[in-house]
A and B are shown apart, each in its own frame.
Chain A
Amino acid sequence: MMQQTPPIPEIIQAIPLQSYLILSTALFVIGIIGVLTRRNAIVIFMSIELMLNAANLLLIAFSSYKSDASGQVFVFFIMAVAAAEVAVGLAIIVMIYRNTRTIDVGFLNKLKW
């Protein structure tokens, strides 16, 4: 009976789930810092990708620890949506550059007030 079920991965036995929570919180906070401090639209976009990946890591960690495949299917969908988002977002950035010759988001203040 025992040799039929594969063993539990060592990492799950050794590392508490809290460590993954803290790791993905760190990634998410770094992403927020990037969005708030940088001016380059592409770097802001990359910081958003960083935050998306923090969420992915957390979903996969919970899914592996609770052995529930739904979390990993959601990560698959998040990746697909992120790919679509990047395609449209980069097209918008290219268009902004073409019209204003810059991708500094500080110059895009027509809708500010």
Chain B
Amino acid sequence: MSPTLSLFYFLSFLTVLSALMVVFARSPIHSVLYLILTFFCLSGHYILLNAQFLAAVNIIVYAGAIMVLFLFVIMFLNMKKEDEESKTNLTKVAAVIVAGTLGVILVGAFRKSQVGTYNPYAHDSQVGMVESLGHMLFREYLLPFELISILFLVAMTGAIMLGKREVGERHF
């Protein structure tokens, strides 16, 4: 087995394992830490797929910004005590059955479908580099790119409005 192949299987195994630990970890802090591990594994996948720019963005935006926000809120809310989950075992079993059925159906459909593969003659391995993505982003997708900035402005205003303390309300 070539090193790349074994690296792929190792990364996939680690990704699925840490994703499972996100769901099944008891304390939310552990969930966040496992989610960060998942994001790093996914960045490894992106690098293997030659999407260097998105691998860097994934680490900066997800593992850097979003996860810090999660950690911040968890530490704000002081959820050290492991409050017992109020869901019954029946609900949990039903949830796992529903999700597992969806997974089996999807995998079955994928096995029957023709997803194609790469074209060895017209393949461009530089497609995930900053240069080609920048050309794409600032030519064909210029309007969505500008709309994203408006979305951020709206989201920032909304977050501040939601998080603001009303007069007489308690802090936390």
CB atoms of A72 and B8 under 8 A apart: no
B120 / chain A contacts, CB cutoff of 8 Å: 8
List the A side residues contacting B77 at CB < 8 Å.
42, 93-94, 97, 103
In this complex, the interface size class of chain B, counting residues with CB under 8 Å from chain A, is 35 or more
Cross-chain contact B127 with A39 (CB below 8 angstroms) = no
List chain B residues, Cβ under 8 A from A46: 22, 31-32, 35, 70
CA distance A82 to B2 in the complex (A): 36
- Residues of A whose CB lies within 8 Å of any CB of B are 6-19, 21-23, 25-34, 36-40, 42-43, 45-47, 49-50, 53, 56-57, 60-61, 63-70, 72-73, 75-77, 79-88, 90-95, 97-98, 102-104, 106
- Interface residues, chain B, CB within 8 Å of chain A? 2, 4-5, 8, 12, 15-16, 19-20, 22-23, 28, 31-32, 35, 38-39, 42, 45-46, 48-51, 53-54, 57-58, 61-62, 65-66, 69-70, 73-74, 76-77, 79, 83, 85-87, 91-92, 94-96, 98-100, 102-103, 106-107, 110-111, 115-120, 122-128, 132-133, 135-137, 140-141, 144, 148, 151-152, 154-156, 158-160, 162-163, 165, 169-172
